[in-house]
Structure 1
């Protein structure tokens, strides 16, 4: 059966504008002094709710300590990647190669947008330290496990906390998958995983909640708009699929790799 191409080489003006309007609204509410104060008050309460049990519950402590180390980010990345390229889940088997290439291109857009936006924020008074640095009674994982910070890159603080880069990647993955998901069950799994994997930075205090639900969402929406609702994804993915076809054909002969959906013939943009 022949499935339609994932990406359409045309503008979707309504969804493109919607992504930008929502992102702009989030930014304006966050900049507004009253809104900023409300977000900060909520985040302080939320941080204590998540952070305080680190002293009282060993399971909570060890769970989020392990999840806050850089090697765990690799595990998360592999889980998200496998769900992205799993044939006949969100994407049909013949669509997974295009989905992978399109998502990588979307990540590149995300990186560019985040870099530009961060440079602007860094030159304003809106940039801030992470919750673990600002809140006096914060429980710091690096104080409890001092050797893990250098050895395993334990992440529990930042001097430039906004926007949440870790969250923006998880959010763009969730948004990208949601655009092409077909069932409520798929969307529940997608967003449950995204929110779960955002938790370590919030529990450890490496980010405030607003770094994620304002900054992360805003950056992800802009990247989604420019990727999926303009001709960019269709044109760039089609070109890269043609260029990389010999490589996929070559690696597709290897015993284990050839079982992957992205190695199957017939992939389309």
Structure 2
């Protein structure tokens, strides 16, 4: 029996990891409810304002800061985050056996499909929230100060899609690679979601309420119910295998 099949079947004996499933569902519900139901989003709005005005004042007082944040919010910079995630994944992929490499490719495919699906789930939340640069008056706009194309606003910024993708990656590598890879993922969440907050294109809570609640809910149902284990096992059986020369 192939190693991937052994691994999946061993975990499938306890398909529902109830404690983990319950914890992540409760965390998602508590975080989202505390933001959604509190008047004017309660203490979350105070946090959002603090982050926005802190970084907005920096934009207004430093040309160097304008250029750095403008570069980080250019579409081309998104490739840096993708490269960083790819390097972490590849560092675990190289040197593995052919069977393990096949498993990692399948896991990567499932991760991409999950990212697409959970992004659509996030868009289904009945919230339409413009970014802070479209809400507050008398502020500095990165797009007006930078000398090249960048981004500082969104008509619907909740939940933060960049943060969500990074959190999904973190969940996958923590579960299927190692806790060290998971820590890299956590670092990437902070680093690569920060530019949107610094520019005012996202509220801080778009990331750490919106994206976090969607990621926790989605990963709880997909990762701790045996769904992923069954799907990966099914794909391993049905996807064609490359024949060695």
Normalised by the size of structure 2, how large is the TM-score?
A: 0.82
- Say whether residues 1:74 and 2:70 are aligned partners: no
Task: Report the Cα distance in structure 2 between the residues aligned to 1:62 and 1:30, rounded to whole angstroms.
Answer: 33
Task: Report the Cα distance in structure 2 between the residues aligned to 1:215 and 1:25, rounded to whole angstroms.
Answer: 12
Tell me: CA distance 1:161–1:101, structure 2 relative to 1, closer, same or farther (3 Å).
Answer: same
| Structure 2: stretches of 5+ with no match in the other structure | none
* Residue equivalent to 2:7: 5
Number of aligned residue pairs: 238
* Residue equivalent to 2:129: 128
* Residue equivalent to 2:202: 207
* Residue equivalent to 2:230: 235
Equivalent of residue 41 in structure 2, options 19, 28, 36? 36
What's the CA shift string for 1:68-101, capped at 9, x where partnerless? 1111112211220221232279x96654542443
For the 8 Å contact 1:86–1:96, the answer to whether it is kept is no
What secondary structure does 2:7 align onto?
coil
Shift of 1:25: 0.7
Tell me: CA distance 1:146–1:57, structure 2 relative to 1, closer, same or farther (3 Å).
Answer: closer
Task: Report the Cα distance in structure 1 between the residues aligned to 2:221 and 2:108, rounded to whole angstroms.
Answer: 12
* Residue equivalent to 1:198: 193
For the 8 Å contact 1:106–1:224, the answer to whether it is kept is no
Tell me: CA distance 1:230–1:102, structure 2 relative to 1, closer, same or farther (3 Å).
Answer: farther
* Residue equivalent to 2:114: 109
Task: Report the Cα distance in structure 1 between the residues aligned to 2:175 and 2:189, rounded to whole angstroms.
Answer: 15
For the 8 Å contact 1:142–1:156, the answer to whether it is kept is yes
Equivalent of residue 218 in structure 1, options 198, 213, 216? 213
* Residue equivalent to 1:64: 69
What's the CA shift string for 1:182-219, capped at 9, x where partnerless? 55x65543322220001111011111011110001011
For the 8 Å contact 1:171–1:220, the answer to whether it is kept is yes
Tell me: CA distance 1:190–1:119, structure 2 relative to 1, closer, same or farther (3 Å).
Answer: closer
For the 8 Å contact 2:166–2:185, the answer to whether it is kept is no
For the 8 Å contact 2:122–2:211, the answer to whether it is kept is no
Tell me: CA distance 1:211–1:98, structure 2 relative to 1, closer, same or farther (3 Å).
Answer: same
| Structure 1: stretches of 5+ with no match in the other structure | 149-153, 254-269
Tell me: CA distance 1:137–1:6, structure 2 relative to 1, closer, same or farther (3 Å).
Answer: farther
Shift of 1:143: 1.3
Equivalent of residue 89 in structure 2, options 57, 74, 84? 84
